[in-house]
Structure 1
Amino acid sequence: MLKGIKRAASAIAIAVALYSLLGFLILPGIGLRIANQQLAHYAEVPATLQRLQLNPFSLELSLWGLQIGEAEQQQIAFERLYANLQLDSLWNGVLHLADIELDKPHSEVLFGKDGRLNLTQLFNVPPSTEPAVEEPAGEPFPLRISRIKLSGGNVHFQDLRPSEPIEFIYDDLNFELFNLSTLPDDNADMSLIATGPTGGRIDWTGRISLVPISSSGSLKVTDGKLKAIWPYVRDAVPLVLEDGTVNMSSDYSLNLAKGTELLLSNTQLSVSSFAIKSPADKALLRLESLDISETSVDLAKQQVIVGKIRSQKLETWAAREADGQLDWQKLLAGQPAKPAPAPAPAPAPAPNEGGSGSAATEAEPAKEPSEPTTAEQSADLETATADQPEEPSKPWQVILRDVQLRDYQVHLADRAGGAEVKIDLAPLNLDLRMV
């Protein structure tokens, strides 16, 4: 019996040793080789994975040193990706990951002048040769992740499409999410903090559900610089931004189960040190502060309720030019539409075989009108339906409860009558309630 115990112990020891050899050494080596082969095959830029580690006893997997892109400008990279699979996935029927951790991820989000995104050009994935078959939507793959943590993230965004390029960096991005699941009515708690070297901080906390897609929580933007996004505005209206800072916070509720239901509540918006001028370097507007609070927006009801507006020291200039138009009107006027191309002239009828001096041939007898086909009837019906006026859409309702404007200055000028007439309205104070 003692020999049997020794044999069993030896067999167990050998099995554990082989399992350890397979899990710690063989499988990671094979996996790393296959991963780098696939990256080399599909990637359009240099791409490598430096190391892969697997603990076969705790089912922990770690990927180290992913680099996609040239050495001097990596498009996607991370220092470490860690995942921990739980054994209860075998009997619960749900793939359960205890932890997913991503350390120091880096991403370049670049839009070229032609509108192409760099991330869509990193891999060359061949199109599927099999025809697409529409299948009824089924249940999502059962998955539960107890915790997802992203730390030390770095995102570089650049957009060359506007007339003035847009570029900003978030070099300290941290994200944490608990209890993410694809099971119905399961909610996950999340938090996101992002900061940049030139100012601007984003704080996002709330809950999210994947089935159905819904989310609720709060979003806060602190010390956002308007210059970072102003080129988008300048391409629409020719206004030059001199300065401006924005702070915003709001609670939100989003539900996509039945259409798009979005509700913003307790919304607060603050703009300070805002100043714009014309392309000719003429001052147009300066604002010391604008505070909007106790505001809500209901997308389903198409209703905006503004609780309080407090504004201090706005100064603006406006003039009526000699042609009778306001300078603001000229500045904000859209570009004239290009005239539609003239229709091509109809081709001249071909001359008769007898030449220009020969008699005209007899006209063919007119054909009797045929009955319209089903396709023609359908086309006529669609045309008649399209010609019918569309029902007017529901207008938005905007309610202003309490507005206070203090120490405003308005500088007016009239040049239409020859001699310039100037009028200054200052100080201008305005109070409005329940508009």
Structure 2
Amino acid sequence: MAEKEAENNQVASRRVVSRRKSHLVRNLLIALGMLLGLYALAGFLALPWWLERSLPEQLDQRMGWQAEVERVRFNPFSFSLEADAFSAKDADGEPVTAFDHLRVNLSFLNLLRGIIGFEEIRLVEPDVRLDLLQDYDINYARDWRSANPEGEDATQTKTAEKGNPPRLYFQQVTIDGGELLFRDFSQGGDPAEFRVAPLDLTLNDLATWPREGSDSQYSVMAALGEQVIEWDGELSVTPLYSAGRLRLSGLRHDTLAHFLAPYLPWQLRDGTVTLESRYELAGGDRFELITSDGNLTIQQLALALSAADDQPALATETIAVQGIGFDLTAREATVGMVSIEQPSLAASRNAEGEVDWQASLATAGTDQSETSEPASDLGEPFRWSVQGVELSGGQVRWRDQVPETDADIAVNNLAVTMGGLSHRLDEPVSYDVSAELGTGGRVTAIGQLTPAPFTFEGALSGSDILLPVIQPYVADAANLELVDGRLGFDGNLDLDAQDEPLTGTFSGTAEIAGLATRLPGNGGELVSWELLRLAPVEFNLNPAR
């Protein structure tokens, strides 16, 4: 009986322990459920409610902006945050930034490893206003400084410098259908406005700490009307490294004129620019920048020397530059072939002997000398080279007001071919030039020259050049009027400017056919002949003989 009673007590004891365990598990499950419920309530309801009210307050305190957000959602289980219909106005009541939708998805596994990781950041149709102020400040930086005391800003900066930068990881960042309004107040007067739309960006696999063989991939596309910027490649933040391709297509003359106004002394009237290049840059002990495979195309260029000119002084159909390369560390620039099609150049000299192009360049040089600082000694000299230049279908018009009667000379069908040019200015450069005069006749020259010290060697020839075209210059030197006559010549010209003064010799043949001269004012015939031929003829420049 005693044994049976002991056995019953053991069974009862086991049942009590089992009931206690089941109650404990149930209580734990209930507690866990309650915690999950509270966590879900805090994530789904409390946090969005707090953000909807806190975000405008923080922007008001930190930036001085009046902000609104229509709705904020947070999923505490997927760590994703979404916001809809955000907008903000600055202290002047002007819209400064807005977006239709924002989605941020945190990576919980990366947080366990001490990394702030974002699986996705997606911004849909942001609308941003960026102002370049008159003192070259940015409106965002101005608003921040206005809303934050200088002492607090300095303290925060020192605190940030003491700690190590956080480890951030961005798996995918996307800007979809953005719009950027850029306003430039830096040049005074009414601001120039540029609206970039659409603005699309894609960035993948970006980290703020060094990783072996893992560079981020990025792609940017922005359009300003028909002007398009395309930029793609790879990026590393630590160490700083980027390589890729940049293409600017269809840039209009008015856009370029605005940004080049402080540096360009002339007026851009027309033209579009397309530029593309591959690049590679790296930061470290020494900043490195290398560009390669660059191409530049300028279409329908029209340039005037001043705003008062009715007609452009320079116009071209096409300028194409191929094979552009640059190496900052090696201090070297290379250019392939330069092709210029149908250029038209107008130049004039006023009664005081001042050439308009020279005067405009002299003015630009004076302005730059007043503001620029002397260049520092950079050691190794800069090296450059150009493979060659080809010019076709050119026109030149020269008007000279120095003579008593204005001289007006036109050159048509100008063609120029030049060989390689480089920083080695003492090396010879080959050339081939041909042109037709507007009044009749043709001139050709072929040979080589050296830029510095200047030397010139060439075979020159001319045929059927009408002499009356130089009548304004003859009238200043002699009481004579050229009525008719045609000049022809064929020979070699050598010039040498290694020592002052310039010396040179022409040797060859020359002839003047159908010459007719008379006294000015419809005077009688003075000298005429059918043909005068000099073979050979030699002319020495200095001393003249």
Alignment TM-score, normalising by the size of structure 2: 0.65
> Are 2:438 and 1:409 aligned?
no
Q: Give unpaired runs (5+ residues) of structure 2.
A: 1-18, 422-545
On the 8 A contact 1:68/1:77 being kept in 2, the answer is yes
Inter-CA distance 84–163: structure 2 relative to 1 (3 Å threshold):
closer
How far, CA to CA, are the matches of 2:383 and 2:162 in structure 1?
A: 38
On the 8 A contact 1:163/1:235 being kept in 2, the answer is no
Matches within 5 A, 1:101-116: 101-113=122-134, 115-116=136-137
> Are 2:173 and 1:152 aligned?
no
* Structure 1 residue 237, shift from structure 2 partner: 4.0
> Are 2:350 and 1:321 aligned?
yes
Q: 1:298 aligns with which of 299, 303, 327?
A: 327
Structure with the largest fraction of strand:
2
> Are 2:361 and 1:332 aligned?
yes
The SS at the match of 1:20 is helix
Aligned residue for 2:512? none
Aligned residue for 1:348? none
How far, CA to CA, are the matches of 1:189 and 1:274 in structure 2?
A: 36
Aligned residue for 1:128? 151
> Are 2:451 and 1:423 aligned?
no
> Are 2:217 and 1:192 aligned?
no
Q: 1:98 aligns with which of 119, 141, 159?
A: 119
Inter-CA distance 22–199: structure 2 relative to 1 (3 Å threshold):
same
On the 8 A contact 2:336/2:388 being kept in 1, the answer is yes
Matches within 5 A, 1:211-360: 211-277=238-304, 278-280=306-308, 281-334=310-363
How far, CA to CA, are the matches of 2:350 and 2:418 in structure 1?
A: 31
The SS at the match of 2:261 is helix
After superposition, the C-alpha distances for 1:19-65 in whole angstroms (9 at most, x for unaligned) are 21111111221232222222233343422333221111111112333
Inter-CA distance 31–400: structure 2 relative to 1 (3 Å threshold):
same
On the 8 A contact 2:294/2:325 being kept in 1, the answer is yes
Inter-CA distance 91–258: structure 2 relative to 1 (3 Å threshold):
same
* Structure 1 residue 331, shift from structure 2 partner: 2.8
Inter-CA distance 226–260: structure 2 relative to 1 (3 Å threshold):
farther
* Structure 1 residue 393, shift from structure 2 partner: 5.0
- Residue type at the aligned position of 1:188: S
On the 8 A contact 1:219/1:250 being kept in 2, the answer is yes
Aligned residue for 1:352? none
* Structure 1 residue 320, shift from structure 2 partner: 1.9
Higher RCO (Cα < 8 Å, 6 or more apart):
1
- Residue type at the aligned position of 1:29: W
On the 8 A contact 1:207/1:216 being kept in 2, the answer is yes
The SS at the match of 2:150 is coil
Aligned residue for 2:448? none
> Are 2:13 and 1:13 aligned?
no
Inter-CA distance 187–220: structure 2 relative to 1 (3 Å threshold):
same
Q: 1:179 aligns with which of 205, 209, 216?
A: 205
The SS at the match of 1:334 is helix
On the 8 A contact 2:253/2:269 being kept in 1, the answer is no
On the 8 A contact 2:56/2:66 being kept in 1, the answer is no
* Structure 1 residue 135, shift from structure 2 partner: 9.0
Inter-CA distance 108–13: structure 2 relative to 1 (3 Å threshold):
same
How far, CA to CA, are the matches of 2:135 and 2:202 in structure 1?
A: 35
Aligned residue for 2:451? none
How many residues are aligned here?
Answer: 384
On the 8 A contact 1:162/1:232 being kept in 2, the answer is no
How far, CA to CA, are the matches of 2:260 and 2:229 in structure 1?
A: 21
Aligned residues: percent identity? 25
After superposition, the C-alpha distances for 1:277-303 in whole angstroms (9 at most, x for unaligned) are 232224211110011111211111221
Q: 207-216 or 235-244, which moves further after superposition? A: 235-244
> Are 2:177 and 1:168 aligned?
no
- Residue type at the aligned position of 1:293: Q
Structure with the largest fraction of helix:
2
Aligned residue for 1:358? none
* Structure 1 residue 11, shift from structure 2 partner: 3.2
* RMSD across aligned positions (CA): 2.7
* Structure 1 residue 3, shift from structure 2 partner: 5.0
How far, CA to CA, are the matches of 2:43 and 2:257 in structure 1?
A: 54
Whichever of the two has the greater Rg, that structure is 2
How far, CA to CA, are the matches of 1:111 and 1:258 in structure 2?
A: 31
* Structure 1 residue 405, shift from structure 2 partner: 0.9
The SS at the match of 1:195 is strand
On the 8 A contact 1:63/1:82 being kept in 2, the answer is yes
Q: Give unpaired runs (5+ residues) of structure 1.
A: 341-388
- Residue type at the aligned position of 1:69: K
